[in-house]
């Protein structure tokens, strides 16, 4: 690598965007060549000057209050959204939406009608269960305690399996509410991660194979078999969640 190659890659190197081999080549060159080292050092110094704390504008507390209030009132359907923008905001918004969806959102095509809405509901239920420290109504690692607890509370009997021996410990069950009906929610733990398995009777007779959905750092896998719909939701990585789903299917015969 000559000086001009090195100089054109100094930024990518400082930004950690080079592969290891080129990174090492540049380190070697900079080590030996004084002129390039001076450029490298001055860029590095500029970077640390830019990254100093005083350069970053932190949002003032009043802005957080303002944004929260605006979001709350906009999310309340009885009130009109306060969007003080010009008439062609619609055009800009539509364009922005297209750009965002196309470029960043990496859309996952939902395989079923209504799947998106259920996914959102199930995810909300999962997050609520973690936030309100209301993960379980019946805290028990014993499937023979959890399953009978649902009797009399639901018009169906959810399959309950313990998977502790394979790394997914049952921690209990609770009632939740999805799609305008009470559903069974079974909570499992894998290390620090919580998995909620939602179970309810399917309205259709058709089986639906596993469908994967990723949302806001959470993963969800849903399937329907023998008139029962399952949704497994967790912040666990996709591979381990798939493993969990396979184990549930195997043990519950679902």
Q: Which residues bind other proteins (CB under 8 A)?
A: 4, 7-8, 11-12, 15, 17, 35, 38-39, 41-43, 45-47, 49-52, 54-60, 63-64, 66-68, 70-71, 74-75, 81-86, 89, 92-93, 96-97, 99-101, 103-108, 116, 120, 123-124, 127-128, 131-132, 214-217
Q: Which is nearer to other proteins, 80 or 144 (CB)?
A: 80
Q: Which is nearer to other proteins, 73 or 246 (CB)?
A: 73
Residues linked to residue 154 through DSSP beta bridges, in sequence order: 151
Q: Which is nearer to other proteins, 134 or 250 (CB)?
A: 134
Q: Which is nearer to other proteins, 89 or 156 (CB)?
A: 89
What's the CA gap between 254 and 250, in Å, rounded? 7
Q: Which is nearer to other proteins, 1 or 63 (CB)?
A: 63
Residues whose CB falls within 8 Å of the CB of residue 234, separated by 6 or more in sequence, listed in order = 126, 190, 193, 194, 195, 196, 218, 219, 241, 244
Shortest reach from residue 187's CB to other proteins, in Å: 17
- How many Cα atoms within 13 Å fall on the side-chain side of residue 5? 9
Shortest reach from residue 55's CB to other proteins, in Å: 6
| Look-up of token digits 């100093």 | 52
Of 193, 202, 205, 251, residue with least CA distance to 231 = 202
What's the CA gap between 134 and 24, in Å, rounded? 52
188 touches 197 (CB < 8 A): yes
Residues whose CB falls within 8 Å of the CB of residue 141, separated by 6 or more in sequence, listed in order = 162, 164, 169, 170, 171, 172
Q: Which is nearer to other proteins, 133 or 204 (CB)?
A: 133
Shortest reach from residue 4's CB to other proteins, in Å: 6
Residues whose CB falls within 8 Å of the CB of residue 56, separated by 6 or more in sequence, listed in order = none
Shortest reach from residue 80's CB to other proteins, in Å: 12
Shortest reach from residue 166's CB to other proteins, in Å: 27
Shortest reach from residue 211's CB to other proteins, in Å: 13
Q: Which is nearer to other proteins, 84 or 152 (CB)?
A: 84
Shortest reach from residue 81's CB to other proteins, in Å: 6
Q: Please, what sign has the CA dihedral across residues 116, 254, 151, 235?
A: negative
């Amino acid at each position: 690598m000559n000086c001009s190659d090195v100089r054109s890659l100094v930024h990518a190197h400082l930004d950690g965007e080079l592969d290891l081999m080129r990174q090492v080549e540049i380190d070697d060159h900079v080590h030996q060549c004084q002129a390039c080292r001076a450029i490298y050092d001055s860029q590095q110094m500029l970077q640390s000057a830019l990254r100093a704390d005083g350069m970053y504008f932190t949002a003032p507390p009043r802005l957080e209050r303002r944004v929260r209030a605006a979001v709350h009132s906009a999310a309340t359907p009885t009130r009109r959204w306060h969007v003080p923008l010009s008439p062609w905001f619609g055009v800009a918004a539509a364009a922005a939406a297209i750009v965002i969806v196309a470029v960043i959102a990496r859309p996952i095509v939902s395989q079923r009608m209504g799947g998106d809405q259920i996914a959102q509901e199930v995810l909300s239920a999962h997050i609520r269960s973690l936030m309100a420290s209301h993960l379980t109504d019946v805290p028990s690692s014993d499937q023979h305690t959890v399953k009978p607890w649902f009797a009399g509370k639901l018009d169906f009997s959810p399959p309950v399996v313990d998977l502790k021996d394979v790394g997914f410990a049952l921690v209990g069950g609770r009632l939740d509410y999805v799609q305008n009906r009470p559903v069974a929610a079974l909570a499992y733990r894998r290390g620090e991660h919580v998995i909620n398995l939602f179970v309810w009777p399917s309205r259709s007779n058709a089986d639906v194979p596993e469908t994967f959905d990723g949302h806001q750092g959470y993963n969800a896998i849903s399937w329907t078999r023998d008139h029962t719909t399952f949704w497994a939701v967790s912040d666990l990585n996709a591979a381990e969640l798939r493993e969990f789903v396979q184990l549930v299917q195997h043990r519950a015969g679902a």
